[in-house]
Amino acid sequence: MKTRILLVEADLQVRNMVLQSITLEYHATAVRSAEEAVDLLEKEAFDIVVLDINLPGMSGLDLLQHCPRLRPGIITIVITAHATIETAVEAMKRGATEFLMKPLSTEDLMSALSVAAERVSRQALSSAGSGMAPVDIVAESHVMRTLLTQATSIAPFNTTVLITGETGTGKELVARAIHQHSPRHQRPLVALNCAAIPEQLLEDELFGHVKGAFTGAHTARIGRFEQADGGTLFLDEIGDMSLPLQAKLLRVLQEREFEKLGSSRTTKVDVRIVAATSADLEKRVSDGSFRADLYYRLNVVHLRLPALRLRREDIQPLAKQLLVRFCTSAGLPPKTIYPDAWEALTSYYWPGNVRQLQNAMERAAALSGARLDIQLYDLPEEVRGGAEFGISTPLADVNLPVPAIPTAIPDEGLSYEAIVATVERELLLKSLKKTGGNKVRAAKLLHMKRTTFAEKLKRLQPDVEDDLLEEYQAN
Ligand SMILES: Nc1ncnc2c1ncn2[C@@H]1O[C@H](COP(=O)(O)OP(=O)(O)O)[C@@H](O)[C@H]1O
Ligand SMILES: [Mg+2]
Instruction: Label residue 129 by pLDDT band (50, 70, 90).
Output: very low
Instruction: Identify each DSSP E strand in 246-374 by its residue range.
Output: 257-259, 266-268, 272-277, 301-304, 336-337, 373-374
- Tally helices (H) and strands (E) across the chain: 20, 16
Q: Given this model, what pLDDT does residue 400 score? A: 36
Rounded-to-integer distance, Cα 230 and Cα 191, Å? 14
Helix (H, G, I), strand (E, B) or coil at 336: strand
pLDDT for 403 equals 44
How far, in Å, CA of 471 to CA of 462, rounded? 16
Using most ligand atoms within 8 A of CB, pick from 140, 173, 194 the residue to mutate for ligand 1: 173
pLDDT in tens, 182-229: 999 989 999 999 988 888 889 999 999 999 888 888 888 899 999 999
Any idea which ligand is nearest the CA of 169?
1
Phi/psi of residue 166, nearest 5 degrees? -60, 165
pLDDT, residue 263, reads 92
> Is 70 exceeded by the pLDDT of residue 469?
no
**Residue 137, ligand 1, Cβ within 6 A:** yes
SS3 408: coil
Q: Specify the range with the lowest mean pLDDT, choosing from 40-44, 49-53, 339-343, 392-396.
A: 392-396
pLDDT in tens, 21-32: 998 889 999 999
The helix or strand, by DSSP H or E, that contains position 189, with its residue range, turns out to be strand 189-193
Mean pLDDT of 237-260: 94
- Among 135-139, 150-154, 445-449, the least confident range: 135-139
Rounded-to-integer distance, Cα 105 and Cα 109, Å = 6
pLDDT at 457: 78
User: Do residues 45 and 90 make contact, with C-beta atoms less than 8 angstroms apart?
Assistant: no
> What pLDDT, on the 0 to 100 scale, is given for residue 122?
64
129 within 8 A of 297, measured Cβ to Cβ: no
Task: Give residue 172's identity as a one-letter amino acid code.
Answer: E
| Dihedral over Cα of 107, 111, 113, 117: its sign | positive
Q: State the average pLDDT for the chain.
A: 84
Q: Is the pLDDT of residue 133 over 50?
A: no
Q: What is the pLDDT of residues 435-453, one digit of tens each?
A: 777 788 888 889 888 888 8
pLDDT given at position 196: 84
Going 413 to 415 to 416 to 421, the CA torsion angle's sign is negative
Give the residue, 132 or 71, on which the prediction is more confident: 71
Mean pLDDT of 324-343: 88
pTM: 0.60
Please state the atom number of ligand 1 nearest to the C-alpha of residue 144.
1
Lowest mean pLDDT, pick from 135-139, 150-154, 210-214, 309-313: 135-139
Tally of CA atoms within 13 A in the half-sphere of 145 that contains its CB: 6
Q: Residue 62 C-alpha to ligand 1 middle, in angstroms? A: 36
Percent over 90 (pLDDT), the chain: 51
Average pLDDT over residues 420-439: 76
| Residue-wise pLDDT tens digits, 86-106 | 777 778 777 788 888 888 888
pLDDT computed for residue 325 by the predictor: 86
The angle at the Cα of 276, spanning 80 to 155, to the nearest 5 degrees, equals 55
| Nearest CA owner, ligand 1 atom 8 | 170
Does the beta carbon of 150 lie inside 6 Å of ligand 1?
Answer: no
Q: Is the pLDDT of residue 405 over 70?
A: no
CA of 173, closest atom in ligand 1:
17
> Domains along the chain?
4-126 (3.40.50.2300), 142-305 (3.40.50.300), 309-474 (1.10.8.60)
